[in-house]
Structure 1
Amino acid sequence: MTLTDSIVTDDRTPFTGDRVPLVAVLGAGHIGGTVVARLLAGGHPPSRLRATTRSRAHAAEIAAAYGIATGEDNAEAASGADILVLAVRPDQADAVLAEAMRVAEPARYVVSFVAGYSVARLTSAAGPTPVHAFRVATNVAALEKSGVLAVSTAPSSPAESLERVTAALRPLGTFVPLPESHQDTAASTLGSGAAFLALAAAGVREAASAAGVAPEHALLFTVEALECAAALLRQAGPASAEPWASLVTPGGITAAGIDSLLSHGVSDHMAEAVRAAVDRARVVTPTPTEAT
């Protein structure tokens, strides 16, 4: 189905949570495509979901895979939509949102997955049309397993608007509200942190393979170790300085490995990786005043 075909079913009344919202995903790439897949898997009707891509060929692929209206025109996708999901690159976000807002109705919900894209920037880019703006931090892997999403909105935004949008997008995972001042850190831990830990885990896998363990077993053991590490962190709680302590026996093999890691400052290096990501998030898109 094309976007033009779907517009005849628009409901122009404001979304108040009493009906299935019409969701337009602007940018069905890695994040946006996963949003589409998770919403459909969670029971969102295909007739109430649209998506845009940068190419006609990709739009055709999305339409064939999911049976939803797709196209390249962001304004067509936004026409009558209750919720706009912005999932494009930072350098594309202003133009895509401006195109969509040419036809968007007032008081619509705009949910941004764009790295470093502030609520103020989102509201400014939307132009004169008033919107409920939300900024979300997560990653593709978290979305695929309906994991955790950090969500922020303007302090002046009514509480019911957050409740409505998170209820509508519940198939994506668990939304954790937090002040926007923490969003860059959330993106660098919840979002990028998975990549940092995967990089560290690659060293564990490679060591096992180098010792002669079959590659598939080395991978299995490493994944299991990561899952056990997650369990240790949950059990230890947020106040624990040494969540690994329950696995360490003085003079044992785990102690030898921990001592090696500590001597090389691994924890400090991981913290520095997060700080570097936070610094990058703060400059990846300019503020509204810098953009003018």
Structure 2
Amino acid sequence: MKKKPELYPLKFIPILKEKVWGGTKLSRLFGKELAENTGESWEVSGVEGDISVVVNGTFKGVSLVSLLETYKEALVGKKVYKTFGATFPLLFKFIDADQDLSVQLHPNDALAKKRHNSFGKTEMWYVLDADDDARIILGFSEKMDAETYLRHLSENKITEILHSEKVQKGDSFFITPGVVHAIGAGVVIAEIQQTSDITYRIYDWNRPDINGELRELHNELAIDAITFEETNAKLTYTEVENEPLPLCTTPFFKTNKLTLTKNFTRNVVALDSFVVYMCVEGAATVVTKNTSEEIKKGETLLIPASTSEITIKTSSATILEVYIP
């Protein structure tokens, strides 16, 4: 029997998404080749219809799903494969909001499964770049209930009850299902989320889409998914260098921030999970037993779970490290 090639750190072709609210910063900041109004770069995706394809090494041209079907737990880890099987469980994006995104929310796992046969959407954001006056929308500006919310919605006054929060580079936010939110104009983020593309839009600034028509709103679906409880989505932390700084730990993913000024070594196989590195500043070389792969700002690398150990070689890099706990 022919021996299967060994897994190695994997890069994927970015899946670029044109959006009415998108801009050109993904090109300007990260050197991605894109058209105007590019809002999203899907870096690692197992979403049906948008499956990532390898761009480096022996597996160049092979899809993430094909690799997962062939290598199973060697790619994603034993406990991850037992839970998710041939579905890659997370989606990684860079997002450029040249204009405000729609005001939206996402269903939880139970509701998404019932309605859409999909995962829900728990997500986190890390701000890579922000204009001086940039802000995001998170939750409501006052104590809220369904009656008050629906009245403002019907009177086209929903913006009067939304909470806006100024943001700056380095801010992080954890957004649970049901929380009303929107990325504001002038913000570039890295987004880590469950593998789901289910979004309920409740307000879209009365703005036509790139086809000239108003986008569909999902207010009837949203009312059963929305949370009116107060939300504290901003993550607080004290910066540390050259060791993993926990930003966000959930049942779905754990995200550490690595602020590196020297080489960093990680025992991957002990995590029993794939690890994804999103470079948000600087550059580095990720070295394994048999390979090395460069990664720079705006690039993403997937380390297979079977990898024994990696060393990130750098003198200056900030990297988000993500795996399933």
TM over 0.5: no
**Greater share of strand:** 2
TM-score tier by shorter-chain length is under 0.3
In terms of Rg, which structure is larger?
1
TM-score scaled by length of structure 1: 0.26
Q: Which has the higher contact order (CA 8 A, sep 6+)?
A: 2
